[in-house]
Amino acid sequence: MDDSQYVECGIHGRRVATYVCQHIVQTLRDGQPRGFWSAEAEAGELYPDSWCSECEAMLQEAGEWNDETEAKAGVTLICSACYE
């Protein structure tokens, strides 16, 4: 993997990067379940981009991810250890 596929996490150090919605990040902070949906993983991908149930409903209504839905979801970069 090239360096663009990694992130430096303040807790876990250098790890594989992935993206999640702001609501999953909130779940990491407060422990409140919000659902967990993931993109179809590409070959060899361990940490596909993921989002909560609220964002899944928005995605189903919109039909696809686009600039507007990504902004509403508050897509956030996290490390693979936080993801797990």
Assess whether pLDDT exceeds 70 at residue 19. yes
Rounded to an integer, the average pLDDT of 65-77 is: 95
pTM of structure? 0.87
What domain count does the chain have?
Answer: 1
What six digits make up the tokens of 52?
Answer: 């909560």
Rounded to an integer, the average pLDDT of 10-29 is: 96
Is the separation of the CB atoms in 19 and 78 below 8 Å?
Answer: yes
CA 26 to CA 15: how far, in whole Å? 20
Range of the domain at 13: 3-83
CA 20 to CA 18: how far, in whole Å? 7
Assess whether pLDDT exceeds 90 at residue 60. yes
Residue 71: per-residue pLDDT: 95
Beta strands in the chain (DSSP E): 6-9, 13-20, 37-38, 50-51, 76-79
